[in-house]
Amino acid sequence: MLAIYFKSLAKERGTGMNARDILKYGQLTALQAIDGLPESEWEIAGACGSWSVKDIIAHLASYEQVLVDILKGYTGGGATPVLESYIELGEQFNDREVSKRNAKTIQEVLAEFNDAHIQAMSLIVNISAETLRQNGTLPWYGMDYALDDVIVYMYYGHKREHSAQIAAFRDQRDRLR
């Protein structure tokens, strides 16, 4: 639904979707959701099922690494081990990647999340608008979809979904005080 909205808006304006802006605003949404969260509440389970806010950010960091690998595939940037793991592991990818970050500090997980986003932003500018909207370039995602669809669904929409969960968790914690 989001991709359809962004594409229709772009068509109405006579422009392509601005993937860079979509990535930027998705990241800002996630960062706003955690802004001011007391450090004592980062590792409390229940923000998303059994996951804590730290786990959600670890999960989003792993997805941001997948995006870096996806974009490397379009820019000739080399090996894509995180993307390969994502495709191979399917649903197991999430828990595996979150557990890999359990021993990391909140600051380390957040730094990884932000660093991967910076990498993605530096790669996206090297991909043409035509390539971004060309269906079928990511067969593992579906032949009817384009990279701009992946950006809207897997990144913008995904970050908004988890940001809403963090907001609800924070509201719940505030009510308990």
Span 8-23, pLDDT tens digits: 545 454 557 899 999 9
Residue 84, in any domain of the structure: yes
Residue 30, in any domain of the structure: no
Contact criterion met (CB below 8 Å) for 93 and 82: no
Residue 13, in any domain of the structure: no
d(CA 140, CA 18): 23
pTM for the predicted model, two decimal places: 0.90
Residue 38, in any domain of the structure: no
Structural domains of the chain, count:
1
Residue 72, in any domain of the structure: yes
Q: Which domain holds residue 54?
A: 43-176
Residue 20, in any domain of the structure: no
Residue 107, in any domain of the structure: yes
Residue 97, in any domain of the structure: yes
d(CA 37, CA 35): 6
pLDDT band at 7 (very low <50, low <70, confident <90, very high): low
pLDDT (tens digit per residue) in 33-80: 999 999 999 999 999 999 999 999 999 999 999 999 999 999 998 899
